[in-house]
Amino acid sequence: MFTWCLEIRAVPKKAFLRSLVNYTTDVSEKRRLQELCSKQGSSDYNSFIRDPIVTLLDLLRVFPTCKPPLSLLIEHLPKLQARPYSAASSTLFHPGKMHFIFNILEFPSHLGELRRGVCTGWLADLVAPVLQVNQKSKELFSPQINITSRPSNVFHLPDNPSVPFIMVGPGTGIAPFIGFLQHRQKFREKHPDYMFGETWLFFGCRHKARDYLFQDELRFFLENGVLTYLIVCFSRDVPAVAETASAKYVQDNLRLYCKEISRILLQEKGYFYVCGDAKNMAKDVNDTLVEVFTTERGVDKLDALKILATLREEKRYLQDIWA
C-alpha cells in the first residue's frame, strides 16, 4: 500500500488561502483571508504569511472558524520531502550498521512558542526511549525508520590512497568524515605496506564542553596516524587568556594554514571536502579558498576563482551541503 505524508509546515500559498475562505464561517475572518490572498494584499501577505513562515497550523489557530476538509489539504499541501543525512560511519568499520548524527532544531513559531524541526523533532522522540534504559529489564526499544540510500558518485575518498586530502566539517558536518576516517583505518590495517597521504580535518563547534562531537574517536584517529592533523575551533568559548586571539570559525583556521592548503591542492593535487550548510559556512569556506589562492599564488581574485573552478572540474573540490 502506497502512502505519503503532507508537509503541514509549508507556507500556504494565496490559492490555498482563497480556498480556505469557503470553509470559514466568521465574517471578519473571511474578510481577513480575502485580503491576504488579494492582489492588493501582496505586501500584507508577505509580512504576515511568507516572511514569518506561517504554517497551516498557525492559520487554523488565528482563524478558529476555518474548518477545511481533508480533501482540500491533500489538494493544496505539498508532499513531505525526504530529509537527506550523511552517514557518520563506514560499513568496513561497522558491518551491517549505519550511524547518523543530527541537531534538534528549535525556533520560535509565528505565535511565539518554540517549535522543533520536522525531522529532527521526530527522530528525537523516537530515540528518547533508547536513551532512557529501563534499569530493571535492561531492554531497549528499537524504533524502525524507513530510509532510502542515495550513493554519491563523487563525494568519497580519493581512489589513490597516497593522495592527500583536507576535510572541513563544522558541527554535524563532520558526519561523512568520520566515515572517511573509519574507512581509512580499516584500509590501512588491510594494506600496511601502502603509502598514505596526509589527512587534515578542520572541525568547528560552539562549545568544547558540550558540542565537541566524536572527540574520543578523533583523538584515536590522530594517535594512530589515520588523521594527520586535527584543527579545531570553538566559536562561543572565551579564550583562557583575554589577549589571545584564537580562531573562531573553520575559515579562520583555513587562513592560518593557507600555505599548507595551497601546497596540498596545487602542488600535490590533493582533494578538498566540505560538509555543512550552504548558505553561510560553505560560502565562507569558498571565499576563504579564493583568498588563499590570491595570497599564495600572487594572483587577482578572477584568477583565484578560475583555480577554484578548475578544482571543481577535476572533482577535487567536493561539497556535501544542505540549504
What are the start-end ranges of the E strands in 33-189?
A: 106-108, 114-116, 165-168
Domain termination site, one of 23, 47, 76 = 76
Contacts 24+ apart (CB under 8 A), 134-138: none
Domains contained in the chain, number: 2
- Pick from 76, 104, 128: which residue ends a domain? 76
What is the predicted pLDDT for the residue at 243? Answer: 47
Q: Does residue 1 lie in a domain region?
A: no
- Same domain as 309, residue 170: yes
CA-to-CA distance for 211 and 156, rounded, in angstroms?
26
Domain assignment present for residue 121? The answer is no
Distance in angstroms (rounded) separating the CA atoms of residues 46 and 50: 5
Closest CA to 12 of 84, 95, 75, 83: 75
Domain containing residue 50: 14-76
Which domain-ending residue is among 76, 102, 119? 76
Measured in residues, the chain has a length of 323
pLDDT at 117: 85
Cβ–Cβ < 8 Å for 21, 31: no
CB 311 within 8 A of CB 267: no
Q: Is residue 205 in a domain?
A: yes
Residues 315, 202, single domain; the answer is yes
pTM attached to this predicted model:
0.86
CATH of the domain at 317: 3.40.50.80
Tell me if 132 is assigned to some domain.
no
137 domain-assigned? no
Q: In this structure, is residue 107 part of a structural domain?
A: no
Instruction: Print pLDDT tens along the chain (323 aa).
Output: 446 788 988 999 999 999 999 999 999 999 999 999 999 999 999 999 999 889 998 999 999 999 999 999 999 999 988 888 899 999 999 999 999 998 887 877 766 778 888 888 888 888 887 777 554 444 556 677 888 888 888 899 999 999 999 999 999 999 999 999 999 999 999 999 999 999 999 999 999 998 999 999 999 999 999 999 999 999 988 775 544 556 889 999 999 999 999 999 999 999 999 999 988 899 999 999 999 999 999 999 999 999 999 999 999 999 999 87
